[in-house]
């Protein structure tokens, strides 16, 4: 397994050399006031290839069976047995199955409109660029890269290629999340004063790629901490202007150099709002958002899990019906790509880049022990 991952990393990075030359060119009222999301309209179906057939891809694939606007039409994996079993399970023709050395051939395949990149973090950039060079739209799992520099290159490359770059922010389409965001936008909470985001769980297998600095680009922050970063931004409705951060590592054997175990971090916003957050791989039951304003509050727990999302505001419980997040995400992304629909909370490459800039700053703050300005 380790050798296959090394091969993936090498072949993924080598895709850059192949790909780059290809591009030329509120206070009261009824809860109904805060409708969560406009339904996706009927229309053409987005033909999607899944790249990287791991556990999360399996979740996405199963969820897509209920999609109205997105369908699995291609598979990309370095494991022949997965290609065989997945092609049978999801009725994907053998001709639409590729490995990491041949996936560039999707350029000539009209059965594929977009590729959902669900490979290890360090491979997101080379794989996304390879897909874009083939003229296909890119849906990339978060974090979109391992640093802001790579994220900027991804955004620019996809723009030049004339393809969409969307990031897998499933919470941006979740009903209760959107209800809270819409309440905040309509002034239901008054002046926002504080946000708290707790994101963490106890990670298992010490040999998994998420604990490999080379493949993950970090540790808990890259995997789970990004939820509190992104959540703070859409819950507060501003972009942070500074960060501070502190790291605690209790198990240096499991969490080696470059792999963060626990980081507490703070973000300051232009209005004076402060976000206090925690990212960890060593504690369970940490999936909570709390937004406080002069006229009210919103509390969500769980706030970013696979669902259902639960919580309440100062006015009423959060009770939007649960729909599998990835089903909604893929239908909404199909509407963005095919219909030009605008997401209520952006899910484009620029949105992903903003999170990467903040993550870079948090890691810098951990090392320096000081405040890192973002503007």
pLDDT digits (tens, 9 = 90+) for 36-82: 567 788 899 999 999 999 999 999 999 999 999 999 999 999 999 99
Model confidence over 190-233: pLDDT tens digits? 999 999 999 999 999 999 999 999 999 999 999 999 999 999 99
| Res 30: pLDDT | 45
Task: Tell me the residue length of the chain.
Answer: 375
- Structural domains of the chain, ranges and CATH numbers in brackets: 2-23+40-168 (3.40.50.720), 171-321+348-373 (3.30.360.10)
**Which residues does 135 contact at the CB level (< 8 Å), separation at least 6?**
107, 161, 162, 163
**Which residues does 181 contact at the CB level (< 8 Å), separation at least 6?**
234, 235, 237, 344, 345
Q: Are 132 and 124 in contact (CB under 8 A)?
A: no
Q: Are 282 and 200 in contact (CB under 8 A)?
A: yes
Sort 24 into a burial class: Cβ within 10 Å, 0-12 / 13-18 / 19+.
exposed
Model confidence over 152-164: pLDDT tens digits? 999 999 999 999 9
Lookup: tokens for 230:
């992104």
| Res 29: pLDDT | 45
Q: Work out the mean pLDDT of the chain and round it to a whole number.
A: 93
Bridge partners, 241 (sequence order): none
| Res 24: pLDDT | 40
| Res 4: pLDDT | 53
pLDDT in tens for each of the 375 residues of the chain? 555 555 556 555 554 544 443 444 333 444 445 555 677 888 999 999 999 999 999 999 999 999 999 999 999 999 999 999 999 999 999 999 999 999 999 999 999 999 999 999 999 999 999 999 999 999 999 999 999 999 999 999 999 999 999 999 999 999 999 999 999 999 999 999 999 999 999 999 999 999 999 999 999 999 999 999 999 999 999 999 999 999 999 999 999 999 999 999 999 999 999 999 999 999 999 999 999 999 999 999 999 999 999 999 999 999 999 999 999 999 999 999 999 999 999 999 999 999 999 999 999 999 999 999 999
Q: Are 224 and 200 in contact (CB under 8 A)?
A: yes
| Res 41: pLDDT | 82
Q: Are 113 and 163 in contact (CB under 8 A)?
A: no
**Which residues does 319 contact at the CB level (< 8 Å), separation at least 6?**
176
Find, among 355, 290, 300, 68, the residue nearest to 174 by Cα.
Answer: 300
Sort 113 into a burial class: Cβ within 10 Å, 0-12 / 13-18 / 19+.
buried
Q: Are 310 and 301 in contact (CB under 8 A)?
A: yes
| Res 37: pLDDT | 63
């Amino acid at each position: 397994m380790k050798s296959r991952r090394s091969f993936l990393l090498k072949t993924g990075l080598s895709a850059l050399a192949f790909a780059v030359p290809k591009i030329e060119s509120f206070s009261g009222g009824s809860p109904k006031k805060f409708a969560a999301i406009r339904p996706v309209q009927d229309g053409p179906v987005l033909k999607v290839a899944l790249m990287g057939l791991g556990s999360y891809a399996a979740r996405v694939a199963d969820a897509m069976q209920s999609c109205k606007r997105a369908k699995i039409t291609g598979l990309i994996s370095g494991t022949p047995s997965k290609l065989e079993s997945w092609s049978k399970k999801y009725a994907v023709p053998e001709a639409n199955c590729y490995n990491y050395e041949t996936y560039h051939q999707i350029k000539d395949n009209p059965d594929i409109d977009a590729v959902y990149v669900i490979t290890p973090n360090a491979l997101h950039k080379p794989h996304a660029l390879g897909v874009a060079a083939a003229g296909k739209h890119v849906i990339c799992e978060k974090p979109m890269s391992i640093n802001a520099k790579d994220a900027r290159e991804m955004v620019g490359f996809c723009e030049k290629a004339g393809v969409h770059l969307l990031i897998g922010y499933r919470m941006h389409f979740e009903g209760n999340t959107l209800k809270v965001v819409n309440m905040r936008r309509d002034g239901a909470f008054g002046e926002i004063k504080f946000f708290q985001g707790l994101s963490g769980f106890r990670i298992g297998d010490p040999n998994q790629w998420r604990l490999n600095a080379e493949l993950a680009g970090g540790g808990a922050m890259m995997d789970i901490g990004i939820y509190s970063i992104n959540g703070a931004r859409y819950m507060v409705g501003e972009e942070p202007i500074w960060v501070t951060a502190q790291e605690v590592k209790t198990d240096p054997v499991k969490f080696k150099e470059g792999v963060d175990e626990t980081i507490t971090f703070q973000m300051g916003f232009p209005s004076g709002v402060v976000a206090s957050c925690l990212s960890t791989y060593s504690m369970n039951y940490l999936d909570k958002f709390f937004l406080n304003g002069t006229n009210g509050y919103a509390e969500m727990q769980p706030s970013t899990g696979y669902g259902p999302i639960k919580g309440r505001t100062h006015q009423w419980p959060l009770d939007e019906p649960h729909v599998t997040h990835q089903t909604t995400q893929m239908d909404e992304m199909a509407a963005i790509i095919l219909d030009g629909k605008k997401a209520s909370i952006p899910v484009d490459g620029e949105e992903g880049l903003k999170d990467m800039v903040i993550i870079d700053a948090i890691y810098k703050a951990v090392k320096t022990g000081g405040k890192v300005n973002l503007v």
